[in-house]
Amino acid sequence: MNTLPLEHRPHTLYRFFAENGALLYVGITAALPTRLTDHRDDKPWWTEVARVTIAHHPDRESVLAAELVAIKTEMPRYNIQHNASKSIATAAASKRPNWRGWCNEPAGDIWQFRSRASGYQKEEPLRLYWELHCDPISDDWLPDEIAAEELWRIWITRYPRDEHAEALFGPGAMRIWWFVDGHSIFEGAPFQHPGASRYGADDFLSHYSVPLNAATGEAIQWTRLPVVDKLWRSGRADKGGFIQEATGWKPSPLQPYVDVQQLARAARLTQPDTARDLGRVA
């Protein structure tokens, strides 16, 4: 039995191909046989799979990076996350509810912006999507299999402290990574705290012009964009949604970090082991 925390275990990046060679899906797992069985049981497009390829990675961080590149560059048919070629309609092809929750959100303001590379104009709603360290742990379950509070317990006890955030913001701090999320785009958010940005200087404004309100022509105020609700309940298996579901908390726009100890205490949930995880005497 592998006793290593999940983030330190070897992981596999897998690709599903159709008979004609079209790439259907890219995914990651630390338990390949179980994951393949899950896909067989809950993906309506499973019968299209004719070939599977795998690539091994030493840990979760490296496989997540490889997955991001693969989805963005290879554009698999049934992936939603990171896949700029996919619209919300694609989410209906999977049993798992749309991970970004667009089906459940009001349209809100419509924004116009242009690709800096091609000049092509887009017009769509935008919002801020947030992610905490290793919160995609939820990818391995559905809400009817595990409660939000239990996922929180697994997450808070298995994953190491965010030493980078603690150096900037103090004990217990964990960075919040921000993305601009639209129906057809998913890019790093601009104006993040320099210590909290996941992709450095590369962000939405590296690839697109400043969005203008389609109705008023006014330039966007990034701090007024709605922050996505990430939930974990029947009909909503949002990636990392167990955090908001278990605590009732979500961050303010572009908030750079959260004190997970304070959050756990306030929500009366499992707290990090301060002696072990924070390297301090409790």
Please report, for the chain, the start and end positions of each structural domain, with discontinuous segments joined by +.
1-84, 96-282
**Looking at residue 107, what is its pLDDT?**
57
* Residue whose token pair is 């191909």: 17
Contact (Cβ atoms closer than 8 angstroms) between residue 124 and residue 184: yes
Query: With bands split at pLDDT 50, 70 and 90, how would you rate the model's confidence at 138?
Result: confident
User: Which residues are 56's β-sheet partners?
Assistant: 12
Architecture (CATH level 2) of domain 1-84: 3-Layer(aba) Sandwich (3.40)
Mean pLDDT, the chain, integer:
82
Query: With bands split at pLDDT 50, 70 and 90, how would you rate the model's confidence at 80?
Result: low
Nearest Cα residue to 194 out of 219, 164, 223, 224: 164
pLDDT digits (tens, 9 = 90+) for 90-106: 433 343 334 455 545 55
Query: With bands split at pLDDT 50, 70 and 90, how would you rate the model's confidence at 52?
Result: very high
Packing angle of the helix pair 148-158, 260-267 (nearest 10 deg): 150
Q: 65 Cβ partners below 8 Å, 6+ apart?
A: none
Tell me the pTM: 0.66
pLDDT digits (tens, 9 = 90+) for 241-255: 999 999 999 999 999
Tokens of 76: 């698999």
**Looking at residue 104, what is its pLDDT?**
54
Separation CA 215–CA 220 (nearest Å): 12
Separation CA 156–CA 150 (nearest Å): 10
Separation CA 281–CA 166 (nearest Å): 16
